[in-house]
Amino acid sequence: MASLIDLAGLQLDALPLDAVDAGENEGLEESALSVDAAASLARAERHADAIRRVGAVFGPPAPDDRAAYGTYVAQAVDALRLPNISGREIVAVHARTTRGGVKNRLPPPWGLYRLLALLVYDQKVRDHLGVPLRFNSIHRDGPYNAAIGGASKSAHRACTARDRAPVGSSVRSLAEVDAALRRLYVDLSADQARVLASVAKDYSLGPAFSESVFGEPFSASELGFEAGPDRASYTYVGGIGRYKTFVHGDARGVAAAWRG
């Protein structure tokens, strides 16, 4: 029998019996975790209409309401209508547990807002690469980041970093595509802009491109965004870290490249 693990409040089937091990290199970047979340998210989707009805009366789900918020995140990602990136995989990638039993969490609303914008860029990377991308690591909350020995001001904490592995290609090819698109102008479709606007409205977000998890404000350039007034477009400027099995990308606002 497969064990169950709590992922954003969703009980996921078909997971290994053993807890996920952070691994000896987890403090730098995380390795991939394959999670079959289809069955559990299918159950969650059956409750989506009820959640929306409740939300219409009581407001959007609080991030601490892990089941409802996990569904909200998945639906927001799917609403972007990205051909090769699903809400299921974005929720599933946050199913992390350290050796000490510390679990990762989904990004808070301001982090979700940033992530939604960046996923539009990642779809363009996928289009240029021509093979699937597997997301290994996205958001890390504070306790989880500390448990794995991550940098206190990691871009993963700010929800501007994603570690991705190409499926059927090389990390070198992915890094080269990232480099070619380093200053890509990303113009969100009208529907995609509405998704971001909806998240901002649901959670009363201020200037989400400039808010910081660390207590001091980021400038737009420091986040790698040069956003229009309607935030329906931005220029991606980021760092590229090439590792043995994945490529780290973050919207740091300045061009940077390194090997790990």
Distance CA 201, CA 194 (A): 10
Phi, psi of 102 (to 5 degrees): -80, 125
- Calculate the alpha carbon distances from 41 to 14, 87, 107 in Å: 13, 9, 18
| 221-254 pLDDT per residue, tens | 445 554 455 556 777 888 999 999 999 999 877 7
Handedness of CA 126, 213, 237, 257 (dihedral sign): negative
Distance CA 147, CA 103 (A): 9
Which residues, in sequence order, are CB contacts of 2 under 8 Å at separation 6+? Answer: 13, 14, 15, 16, 17
Which residues, in sequence order, are CB contacts of 153 under 8 Å at separation 6+? Answer: 214
Q: Give me the architecture of the 3-20+29-259 domain, per CATH.
A: 2-Layer Sandwich (3.30)
| 117-155 pLDDT per residue, tens | 899 999 999 999 999 999 999 999 999 999 999 988 888
Check pLDDT > 70 for residue 169.
yes
pLDDT (average), residues 60-76: 92
Choice among 26-40, 45-59, 68-82 with the minimum mean pLDDT: 26-40
**Bridge-partner residues for 239, per DSSP?**
250, 256
